[in-house]
Amino acid sequence: MNGVGRRSVIRGSLGLAAAGALARPYIANAAAKTATVWWAQGFVPEEDASFKQMVADYEKASGNKIDYSILPFVALGQKMVSALQTGDTPDVISYDGIQTTLVLNAWNDKLVDVSDVVATQQAHFTSTALLSTKLYNKTENKRAFYAVPYKCASEPFHVWSDLVEKAGYKMSDIPNTWDKRWDFFKPMQAKLRAQGMRNVYAFGLQMTTNGPSDGNNVFHGFLIANGGQGLVTPDGKIHLADPQVKEAVIKTITYITTAYKQHYTPPGAISWNDADDNNGFHSKLFVMDFDGTISTELAMIHRPKDYNACVTMGLPLGNDGKPIPAMVGVIGGFIPKVAKNIVVAKDFMKFVIRPEVNNKYLKAGLGRWVPVFPELTQTDPFWLHSKDPHRAPYIEETLTGPSIPDYLAYTPAYAEVEAQQIWGQSYADVYKNGMTPTAAAENAFKQIEAIFAKYPIA
Amino acid sequence: MDGSSARVIGIGQPIVGRSVVRYTWRAGLQGPELIWALAFLVPYFATFLLFVVYPIAYGLWMGSNPALYTQLFSDPIYQETVVNTLIFVVIGVNLRMLLALGLSGFFMRREWWIKGLLMVFILPWAVPALPTFLSIHWMLNGDWGLLNNLIWDVFHVNGPSWLDQRWLALWSDVIAYVWKWLPFWTVILLAGRMAIPKDLYEAAEIDGATGLGRFAHITWPLLANLYLVSTLLGLLFTLGDFTTVYFVSGGGPANSTQVLATLGIRDAFVMSQPRLGVAAVMSAIPVLIPLVIWLMRRVRAAGVER
Amino acid sequence: MSAALTTARKPNYRLRGLATETGAVLLGIVLVIWSLGPIYPMVMVALDSHDDVFSTHIFPPSPTLHSFWIVVTQGYWYLSSFWHQFANSFYVGFATTALTLLIGSLTSFVIGRMRLHGGWVVSNMALVTYVIPASFVAIPFYRIMQIYGWGNSLWSVIAAYVAFTTPYAIFVLQQYSVSIPIELDESARIDGASPWQVYTRIYLPLMAPALVAVGTFALLLAWNDYLYQFLLLSSKRNMTVAVVLAQFLNSDEAPWNYMMATAIIYSIPPIVAYYAFRRYMTSGLTMGGVKG
């Protein structure tokens, strides 16, 4: 009994050793074929399911393996910064929030040039998507693609049509130039309050310095409508001396702080976080706001009454009556230089930006994220010709209309301007410190110049 | 090994000459006993080296570039943050300790409902921080928050928007912090009061001491050291507190209520400059070191008094 | 003081007694409102059928337990592994508590009972750990966990908490042990007991109140923190409930009623732990700061 036992043990361990010897090259091989990916969690469960499907499709098509983690974007943002700082990263990262980390790491030469990946679909991208991901590298002293763009978003107007009508106005009367559109809502405040809505405001003007991007987005909306689009040019230069830019900045600060002082926006708007503005909109605290994506509407998709009472509107004309571009935030996947499997990482991203793959993936998000391929709106009626009332105006603004990238793509200096909330601080200079808008603008310019001095672009 | 004298030296002796230490060590623990003692210390040393010393050394290295501090000190938000941190920590901790001192006396009462009340009182400590601070953030919303709704229902006036002015927002942070941690420190001081022998009070009663007199002559002298050590510990804990400000005021409006811990996180993760974030927190070290030395002295002094 | 004087002041005492009694009840009411103030809205939101947080009523018009049902049946996608993640929270909490108690009691035993000279160096080392705000070490800690191969492991979180709680444990236990007569150890040792036997048979049983108090402290710390769990854990299987709660803040829009229901369920274990051990809490936390 004993002998048999021992013999079988020996045989067993021999077998294990043999298996180990055989398995080792296989494991090495598997490692060579595996890429680790950190992806931002979707807004609806379908988005995550769709990502998993995309991964499964890729694994089947390529024989490679994708080892992914789907992370809430706040957690992902922190992990990504820690990982890049400490040099222990996954092979691909895609982050949904503000792209500060991407541009700073491209600047510091910590990312892989993915121009060859982008090249596979170069002709199909919007120019904004390409501009947004062609980033400056300080070490190489040139621009290259450091992210593979695959989705984007912008800010439409969100209006409670039932409140507009309750106040005695018609939706069809909403003006089609920028300031006039905002002004149109002001008198509704008194009319609605007279009907017992004690707390209602005309609009939710996001002057916050708390949300990562809401405050900056609203500033840029006004800036562009006031003709200040040339604040930062694609060469990464800032143009504070340009009288047209300066005038636009002052006009913007003036309009926003005046509306605040006249109480047309909830006082809390100066410290709203990401969720507060949506909470406010859903509680009908204000009639209208200008806020990123159509998530506000999609959150009510199971409440048809509210879903239909809310109206999504694209951009009006600028104050000079000319069409204005939307500032579009583009999201891409990027590959750190320290990644262990750059080959598979690149191959995976090539798959992600195949238009048909991308279309299938993004449709699951119900249009909260917009594709970066305009041709998809022609091949698939989902984007512009569906029954959904909110999607088409949003897609038109973001994808088929004129657009520009977020300025931070032109220079990491502007990423720091946004992260420091310089514009939000300039409003505070007016409403809190009693400066004139001109003085507040000058103060902001001084800080911006100091920041730009740290990031020289030849 | 002789008990009584060694006990005093154990933690009592502030600074002992090196040779004396070596001598008493040899005389104190010998052979297998010394081995036992060292073996018992292995887990702690392992934890300390692996999870305290190494990360701290790494952190110091990250924050070692002087240029980071030039950048930091030139940031106007940083200057405001230092003031906020001082207010948040000093007022927050002292307010909390004073309240805890008073309430611990209150909870010594013998009414039947006191025990039940203590159970309710302890809830803020037991409920996880994140949702309660979020709840406080909502309560304080100027437009639809519960607090202003109540003010409206009772007085028919609009309450202030609590989180939209620097000082109101900072006070909100302080109060939220006191709310969360008051129960813990009240229980500590309550325990301290319970440890005071009853016969001391009985003797005092015979001498005619009541109320304040009892407190001044018996309770406070016996509780003072515990109170001071708790305060010092509280100062250190509070300096590292990130959750309160992050969720209650979010550091707003216009970054006017940041404290060092939240500024560090903002610099590291929002500005994507982790080294700057580490530098922001490390700039507190000149304040921390004296605090720790003071704390160590108090703790050792407690050992001697015994 | 003469007897005559004392009797003369008696009625005054009674009146004052009534006044303080009323004052005590009033203060009690204030304390209940103070303590429940922020918790009340959590319960209200959780009971609301709507996911709004801003209804202007003080009580939801049609309260329902639906949100709690959603949480316990894992009926929302953020909560699809709720019970598994709840178990993870327990795992982290208990492992932190057990290790804190083990390391804390061994170390305090050596310093306080075996009287290892130079022991004060150890207790000062422990105190120094307090200096380091958690947010300072978060990034380095992340890196070091990767080096140890503990990335996305519950053990990385446990290690962080144990590192932060042991100093407090050593401190409290060492102070508490002063109240136990050292002669007990001495007579046991004269009878030939090894330090290990003294530790297990005398020290641990007599230290029980302080151990329970420190253990509860460690459990609550592990239960309350979110920064480390957030940073160190990433996969759904390894997440804890604290991370799940933070996940609701992920989007600009969330079903707050589910979040608050989750938070309330998550609050139950520490509350139970506290109430179960409250007797020890008050006797175990004296920290020896009081002479006697």
Using CA atoms, how far apart are residues A432 and B164, in angstroms rounded to an integer?
Answer: 10
Nearest to C259 by CA among C46, C50, C65: C46
Residue A202 lies in a domain: yes
Of the ranges A429-438, B239-248, C111-120, C162-171, which is most confident?
A: A429-438
Q: Which whole number is the average pLDDT over A241-269?
A: 95
For chain C, the average pLDDT equals 82
Q: What is the CATH number of the domain that holds A13?
A: 3.40.190.10
Using CA atoms, how far apart are residues A443 and A454, in angstroms rounded to an integer?
Answer: 18
Q: Which domain holds residue A188?
A: 157-291+420-452
Phi, psi (rounded to 5 degrees) for A203:
-150, 165
Find the CB nearest B163 among A82, A104, A271.
Answer: A271
Together in a domain, A440 and A391: no
Q: Of the ranges A109-118, B115-124, B228-237, which one carries the lowest mean pLDDT score?
A: B228-237
Together in a domain, A146 and A161: no
pLDDT per residue over A206-227, tens digit each? 998 887 788 999 999 999 999 9
pLDDT per residue over C64-97, tens digit each? 888 999 999 998 888 888 999 999 999 999 999 9
Using CA atoms, how far apart are residues B177 and B245, in angstroms rounded to an integer?
Answer: 9
Q: Looking at residue A87, what is its pLDDT? A: 85
Q: Which whole number is the average pLDDT over B98-127?
A: 89
Residue A383 lies in a domain: yes
How many contacts, defined by CB atoms under 8 Å, are there between B and C?
310
Together in a domain, A162 and A221: yes
Phi, psi (rounded to 5 degrees) for C102:
-60, -55
Q: Looking at residue A7, what is its pLDDT? A: 44
Using CA atoms, how far apart are residues C292 and C272, in angstroms rounded to an integer?
Answer: 32
Give me the half-sphere count of Cα atoms (radius 13 Å) on the Cβ side of residue A344: 24
Residue A145 lies in a domain: yes
Using CA atoms, how far apart are residues A49 and A368, in angstroms rounded to an integer?
Answer: 16
Using CA atoms, how far apart are residues A45 and A41, in angstroms rounded to an integer?
Answer: 9
Residue of C nearest to B27 (CA): C117
Together in a domain, A337 and A383: yes
Residue A312 lies in a domain: no
Instruction: Give the pair of three-digit tokens for residue B215.
Output: 């407190």
Find the CB nearest B164 among A85, A212, A267.
Answer: A267
Nearest to B44 by CA among A49, C169, C225, A397: C169
Together in a domain, A43 and A114: yes
Residue of B nearest to C272 (CA): B126
Using CA atoms, how far apart are residues C246 and A231, in angstroms rounded to an integer?
Answer: 37
Residues near C177 by beta carbon (within 8 Å), at least 6 away in sequence? C108, C109, C112, C113, C203, C207, C210, C288
Q: Which is more confident, C254 or A439?
A: A439
pLDDT per residue over B146-194, tens digit each? 888 888 888 888 888 888 889 999 999 999 999 999 998 998 888 888 8
Chain CA centroid to CA B78, Å: 23
Cβ atoms B262, B242 nearer than 8 A: yes
Q: Which residue has the tokens 């610099």?
A: B267
Q: Which is more confident, C105 or B288?
A: C105
Measured in angstroms, the CA of A416 and the nearest CA of chain B are apart by 7
Together in a domain, A212 and A83: no
Residues near A278 by beta carbon (within 8 Å), at least 6 away in sequence? A291, A295, A296, A299, C252, C253
- The Cα-based distances of A245 to A60, A250, A318 in angstroms read 52, 9, 14
The DSSP 8-state label assigned to residue A458 in this structure reads -
pLDDT band at A396; cut points 50, 70, 90? very high
Strands A34-40 and A92-94: parallel
For chain A, the average pLDDT equals 90
Residue of B nearest to C181 (CA): B3
Residues near A330 by beta carbon (within 8 Å), at least 6 away in sequence? A99, A128, A129, A132, A133, A149, A151, A152, A372, A405, A406, A409
Q: Which residue has the tokens 């310093």?
A: C111
Angle (nearest 5°) at CA A206 between A202 and A209: 150
Q: Is A108 in the B-facing interface, judged by CB distances under 8 Å?
A: no
- Choosing among 1.10.3720.10, 3.10.20.30, 2.40.10.340, 1.10.760.10, the CATH entry for B67-305 is 1.10.3720.10
Q: Of the ranges A228-232, A432-436, B167-171, C176-180, which one carries the lowest mean pLDDT score?
A: C176-180
Q: Tell whether the model's pLDDT for residue B1 goes beyond 80.
A: no
- Is the CB of A85 less than 8 angstroms away from the CB of C53? no
Nearest to B265 by CA among B284, B246, B252, B283: B246
Together in a domain, A182 and A76: no
Together in a domain, A101 and A241: no
Nearest to A308 by CA among A171, A161, A102: A161
Q: Which residue has the tokens 């325990």?
A: B191
Q: What is the 3-state secondary structure (H, E, C) of B257-278?
A: CCCHHHHHHHHHHHCCCHHHHH
- Stated length of chain A: 458
Considering only CA atoms, give the Rg of chain A: 25
Residue A296 lies in a domain: no
Q: Which of residues 427-446 of A touch B (CB under 8 A)?
A: 427-428, 432
Give residue limits of the domains in chain B: 3-53, 67-305
Strands A403-405 and A326-334: parallel
Measured in angstroms, the CA of A49 and the nearest CA of chain C are apart by 11
Chains touching chain C, criterion 3+ CB pairs below 8 Å:
A, B
Residue A205 lies in a domain: yes
pLDDT band at A383; cut points 50, 70, 90? very high
Using CA atoms, how far apart are residues B101 and B185, in angstroms rounded to an integer?
Answer: 8
Nearest to A271 by CA among B297, B256, C260: B256
Find the CB nearest A283 among C52, C142, C152.
Answer: C52
Q: Which whole number is the average pLDDT over B278-285?
A: 86
Q: Tell whether the model's pLDDT for residue B7 goes beyond 50.
A: no
Residue A78 lies in a domain: yes
Question: Which residues of chain A neighbour C152 with C-beta distances below 8 Å?
Answer: 69
Q: Looking at residue A50, what is its pLDDT? A: 93
Question: How many secondary structure helices (H) and strands (E) does chain C include?
Answer: 15, 0
Nearest to C132 by CA among B69, B93, B240: B240
Q: Tell whether the model's pLDDT for residue C208 goes beyond 90.
A: no
Q: Which of residues 359-418 of A touch C (CB under 8 A)?
A: none
Measured in angstroms, the CA of A374 and the nearest CA of chain B are apart by 32
Cβ atoms A231, A441 nearer than 8 A: no
Q: Looking at residue C15, what is its pLDDT? A: 75
List, in sequence order, every residue forming a beta bridge with A201; answer none if it has no partner: A286
**H or E segment to which residue A131 belongs:** helix A127-133
- Is the CB of C114 less than 8 angstroms away from the CB of B274? no
Q: Which whole number is the average pLDDT over A261-281?
A: 87
Q: Tell whether the model's pLDDT for residue A17 goes beyond 60.
A: no
To the nearest whole percent, how much of chain A has pLDDT over 90? 74
Number of domains within chain A: 2
Together in a domain, A103 and A73: yes
- Is the CB of A280 less than 8 angstroms away from the CB of B143? yes
